[in-house]
Structure 1
Amino acid sequence: MTATTIPNSPAQTADTSLTTSTRQPAGLKVIFFTEMWERFSYYGMRALLVLYLVNALGYDRQNALALYGLYTGLVYLTPMIGGALADKYLGKRRAAVIGAAVMMLGHFAMAFEPLLHLALGLLIVGNGFFKANTTSMVGDLYNGESDPRRAGGYSIFYMGINLGAFLAPVVAGTLGEKLGWHFGFGAAGVGMALGLVQLLWGQRLLGRAGLMPHQEAIGARDIGLILSWTGASVALVYGVINAWAFVGPWHAALAAPVRVLLNVGVIAAILWVIARPSKDVKYEPLTRADLGRVLGIIIVMFFVIAFWTGFEQAGGTMTLFADKQTEREMFGFTVPASLFQSINPLIIVLMAPVFALIWTRLDQSRFALPDTAKQALGMIVLGLGFLVMAQAQNLADLNGKVGAQWLAIVYVIHTIGELMLSPVGLAMVSRIAPARLAAMLMGVWFLSSAAANYLAGTLEHMLEGSGLPLYPFLASMAIGAGIVLLLITPLLSRLMGLRKSA
């Protein structure tokens, strides 16, 4: 095969006639609805998982939160590997289809109690193929890093994520708590199937987004490839479950620092095997500017861990707070505890267009804020929400239960912080990542969520005996991290070659 030289600058895949327009690419709506249905399935399952473990399977609070943290942490770890596989072998679009198929199987498996661990494993592996690649495909729709529509487009994309997240507890959560857990998990599986159909059906609007140079749109000739990777994913999960029966006790016996180093080493080895240079493809070497951008992404990622560690309490301690310590009787109807998780995405659906307009107008003016400054302000806002949550917990400890308005206020404050941080971070990574590392670096970005989700499930146990209450600790951590990130923003802007958002 003739060697091909691939540049590091982002590929231009969109229609150049729209570069000066404010109209978003037609392909955005395809990825919007695909992601909406995938998030419906994910948040439908997440809304029920801790309640299902505690109220149906008899898990105690600590073990339920630990499993929740492990699952959600791994869900955001595997996109780094899935992104690397897409960058080198599969292409983003084929990887996303494989991921959707594997997750669909996982959600349907959740409807059967004996398949709990298999189901969670399939969801973890499937999300690895799907998440980073669909998110990175949004960036492929635009004309290079200077396209002014990009930040607004990611805010709209984020609205699709949260439209699905809003519908999930309303439909899957209510079905699970009122009719039976399996109805809720089954509804999540149907949602994932609709997402897969949407992605395949809408390919004509995507243009070249998500395709490698030699690839064409997905067709009948790709069925064997997709089925092979899907079957291999099922076999991998079965293998890991059986192997863990032998490895798990040995792994748990190691000291915590040794476990961390071992886990990092295994992940690094996997990534090296996947991402090492190919003999058939020669890349231009990364420039000093490229290396600065990669380093900048990694530095910001560590700060963002503080945000998501707090934010992901929504599926764990805050859901249990809604279930046990919140007055849920309204007009003779008991509001399902999972339904409170719909407040956050509802506010995002309503406010995302407003933030998209604000960022677009601000970024085109002399008052533009660097991306890292926006994210720092989001962390500070999240911390303010936990100050309110700490007061709600104090009142619940005194009186047994508190009014539903306390959780509603916290969710609204957290949502404002999320809109200042998450879509901005996604747009930043897609804009500045070297093209050949685009999907993998989007997966690396999700490492912040992986670490944070694991911490979210274990932090309450870690703080036991320390005298530090959970919610005041989270408030201090988020506000402190935000202030430090704000202070070092000028340095990061120089490192990443960004004076302001583009």
Structure 2
Amino acid sequence: MKMQTPDKRFASDTYPTQTFWINFIIKSYARFRKTRASNAFSAIIVSIYNMPQMILLSDVNSVLYQLYETIMWNKLNKSMMFCQAMFGLSFYGVMVILTRFFLEDLGYSEADTMMVVGAFSSIGPLFAIAGGFIADKFLGAYRSLTIAYGTFATGYTLLVLGASTTNVPMSLVGIALASYARGLMSPSYPSLYKRTFSTEEDFENGYPVNYSVNNVGALLGQYLFPMFVLAIGFHGSFMLSAVMAGFAFVTLVIFNKQLVGVGADIDKNSVSLKNWLSFFALSAAMVGLVFFMFSNMDIGQNIVYAIGAAAILYFITLMIKSGKSDALKMGTILIMTVLTTCFFVYYGQMMTSMTMVTINTMRGDLFNIIPIAPEASMAMNPLWCIVAGPVIAMTFSSLEKKGINFSTATKIGFAFIFTAIAFGILTMAVMNIGEDVVIRPEVFLAIHFFQAFAEVIVGSLVVAFILSVAPKHIEGFSVSLFSVAMALSGIVGAVFSTSIALEKGQEITQEIVQNVYGDYFQLLTVLAVVMVAIALISSVIIRKMLDAARADEQPELVEAES
């Protein structure tokens, strides 16, 4: 492969004062990438430093230059990152405008809107379990990914038609298709992307850049699409998303021969009629199920609960049948799943209750110079995640050098501290709101700052922990519990959010904001403080369980050797 020559503005000698950042990231990355358990965290360390136009820091450019020097890029992985960018822009752009679309165009109540949007944001990860099964057993990663982008384009097109004709069922089918496509794409993309690199080392170096591309897409999509709505309406914005997804679909079709050539055997072999029929039957059932859930959220939420409960009960059954050592390790995974579910209930508020609060109260430009629509406040989350990644990495790395090591559960306790601060700020803002019923964008910028730090800690460490303790024969299913936790928390969080829903046409007053919003977020703040204590207690329990598991393994090893 021929390595692309980087732009001259990225040359390292242009920024001679950035030695510290370059050395820190390269050394940290070299250390972290040696262990599978920290792949997710190391991804964040490097990925965040790949946005020179967005962050405008010279050290970012220096690190980007280092990456260009060490990573062997080719047209296949570049084309796939283009597809990833199109996904980030289109999907998160659609998600950020759905709340106002259902409220204003489709006439939904605040309660129903929060349930639908909450479900839309969480159902995709749950169906990633089925998406992985389809890719492994029926179609292969390339076909699954191509169909996923085609399905995205189809779903967004139905949203265009639904917005143009104010057709609720058509709009619900559109977001059902998008949810299914997300589940189909999630496991297929990294599998195929990995095969576009010549070595495992190149992939480990390149995947963080891909993660960064997705962050850029999320940031731009969530910030720009509310403005697009003002200019071209909901139908025009949905059409823009459909075009982006279509570009990704066409890109995959154009590179069909090359991508299939580097794919797995299942990608290269023809698909039998039986497998195609099985795929279409399973897909129709999944889309139908999601449509039914969106149409009947009272029943739909119970379906998610049932799926989540079934997955957890099955895991408990496997745990009971396992030996003592494996059972103890699997028990720690269950504890971590509960903590993760509780955390993502708070994360889900960003798409539901917090969005409703910003729509009703946030007014003005950020720092009086940056225009921002109320619902676009969600864009502050990926912006702060970009900052949080390297800061957290540097902090924990510095502590480890001093011999201070925290367990994953303890770090989740730290995440809940950040969450408590974030929701404490929000509580103070709504409790002390003035008669004009306005909260400045800077308040939400501070809220998202702390919540983003919490998200980076939980999102980067939980899967790594599961991989480090899960028995090899159920490793994949164990990791899927993370998706189950996200789905359950999304629905539970949406249900909680409905408690602050106002009646259609109800006027927003100072008293309503203080009493309805204030009491709700005050309760969440108190519960976050409680979760700090629970996480720290769980850390002690998990440590003792893992110690007992290791102690049980020692006699088995001695017996096996003898």
TM-score of the pair, normalised by structure 2: 0.66
Summarize the Cα distance change of 1:427–1:95 in structure 2 as closer, same or farther, 3 Å threshold. Answer: farther
SS across alignment from 1:314? coil
Question: Corresponding residue for 2:226?
Answer: 173
Match of 1:320 among 334, 356, 369: 356
Summarize the Cα distance change of 1:203–1:44 in structure 2 as closer, same or farther, 3 Å threshold. Answer: farther
Summarize the Cα distance change of 1:321–1:447 in structure 2 as closer, same or farther, 3 Å threshold. Answer: same
Equivalences for 1:84-483 in 2 at 5 Å?
84-86=133-135, 95-113=144-162, 114=167, 115-132=170-187, 134=189, 158-194=211-247, 215-216=264-265, 218=267, 221=270, 231-232=280-281, 235-236=284-285, 239-240=288-289, 260=302, 264=306, 268=310, 288-329=324-365, 335-356=372-393, 358=395, 366-396=403-433, 398-462=435-499, 469-483=519-533
Assess if the C-alpha contact under 8 Å between 2:172 and 2:291 holds in 1.
no
Shift of 1:355: 3.6
Summarize the Cα distance change of 1:160–1:491 in structure 2 as closer, same or farther, 3 Å threshold. Answer: farther
Shift of 1:198: 6.8
Q: Distance in 1 between matches of 2:98 and 2:257?
A: 33
Per-residue CA deviation, residues 164-183 of structure 1 (Å, 9 max, x unaligned), is 21011233332124321122
Q: Distance in 2 between matches of 1:242 and 1:451?
A: 18
Query: Which residue identity does 2:175 align to in structure 1?
Result: L
Match of 1:46 among 92, 95, 105: 95
Of stretches 192-201 and 179-188 in structure 1, the one that deviates more from structure 2 is 192-201
Question: Corresponding residue for 2:560?
Answer: none
The unaligned stretches of length 5 or more in structure 2 are 1-32, 43-66, 502-514, 551-562
Per-residue CA deviation, residues 195-241 of structure 1 (Å, 9 max, x unaligned), is 55677859989998xx7xxx337459469899867754663366448
**Taking every aligned residue pair, what percent have the same amino acid on both sides?**
16
Q: Distance in 2 between matches of 1:348 and 1:197?
A: 31
SS across alignment from 1:323? helix
Assess if the C-alpha contact under 8 Å between 1:66 and 1:457 holds in 2.
yes
SS across alignment from 2:350? helix
Assess if the C-alpha contact under 8 Å between 2:349 and 2:493 holds in 1.
yes
Match of 2:122 among 69, 73, 85: 73
Q: Distance in 2 between matches of 1:194 and 1:289?
A: 50
SS across alignment from 1:442? helix
Of stretches 362-371 and 416-425 in structure 1, the one that deviates more from structure 2 is 362-371
Shift of 1:85: 4.5
Shift of 1:402: 2.0
SS across alignment from 1:399? coil
Question: Corresponding residue for 1:485?
Answer: 535
Shift of 1:71: 2.6
Assess if the C-alpha contact under 8 Å between 1:155 and 1:355 holds in 2.
no
Query: Which residue identity does 1:424 align to in structure 2?
Result: L
Query: Whose helix fraction is larger, Structure 1's or Structure 2's?
Result: 2
SS across alignment from 2:433? helix
Assess if the C-alpha contact under 8 Å between 2:196 and 2:259 holds in 1.
no
Summarize the Cα distance change of 1:198–1:332 in structure 2 as closer, same or farther, 3 Å threshold. Answer: same
Query: Which residue identity does 2:104 align to in structure 1?
Result: N
Per-residue CA deviation, residues 94-145 of structure 1 (Å, 9 max, x unaligned), is 5444434433322332222132111121122222222355568899999xxx
Query: Which residue identity does 1:309 align to in structure 2?
Result: V
SS across alignment from 1:76? helix
Per-residue CA deviation, residues 254-280 of structure 1 (Å, 9 max, x unaligned), is xx9xx84995269849998xxx99xxx
Higher RCO (C-alpha 8 Å, min separation 6):
1
Aligned residues: 454
Shift of 1:420: 1.5
TM-score of the pair, normalised by structure 1: 0.73
Shift of 1:308: 1.4
Assess if the C-alpha contact under 8 Å between 1:305 and 1:452 holds in 2.
yes
The unaligned stretches of length 5 or more in structure 1 are 1-17, 278-284
Shift of 1:325: 0.7
Bigger radius of gyration: 2
Shift of 1:158: 4.9
Q: Distance in 1 between matches of 2:330 and 2:520?
A: 33
Of stretches 352-361 and 450-459 in structure 1, the one that deviates more from structure 2 is 352-361
Q: Distance in 2 between matches of 1:271 and 1:199?
A: 39
Match of 2:113 among 51, 64, 67: 64
Summarize the Cα distance change of 1:42–1:440 in structure 2 as closer, same or farther, 3 Å threshold. Answer: farther
